Amino acid sequence: MSLATSAVAALLPVADIDRAKGFYDRLDLPFLGTNDEGSLMYQLSGATLILLPRDAGTQNPSTALTWEVDDVGAEIADLEGRGVVFEDYDLPGLKTVDHIAEMGGDKAAWFLDPDGNVLCIHQAAGGQDPS
């Protein structure tokens, strides 16, 4: 057995499991159910997302999950239509325009779940350009 070919699970802490379920359901992720600990489980491509009931304030301030998409702009429009709010940044080395940061040809946009976990969608250089 190799870690390179083993199933992967991403675990994120959430303080309010019902609020988290409402948010992650809006992302249109397939819901797998609840485990014995009361954690919510969602199917990702090649992985499982597990939302762990934890005290507030246990989130990592860095990006916890990122999804590669074909068209960041189209994905932003779709997610905003489902109530997702994107972050904007104006920092040294990171500035967003219309929620999108361009970095070496890659494009990325970030949003937070209700518990402050940082989530990202990104488009690799050479991906679809709608312009």
78-128 pLDDT, tens digit each: 999 999 999 999 999 899 999 999 998 999 999 999 999 999 999 998 765
Give domain status of residue 77, yes or no. Answer: yes
How far apart CA 46 and CA 70 sit, in angstroms, is: 18
Q: Two tokens at 53?
A: 């009931």
Helix (H, G, I), strand (E, B) or coil at 44: strand
What is the CATH number for 79? Answer: 3.10.180.10
1 inside domain: no
Range of the domain at 73: 63-123
Segment 50-87, tens digit of pLDDT: 999 988 767 778 899 999 999 999 999 999 999 999 99
End-to-end CA distance of the chain: 45
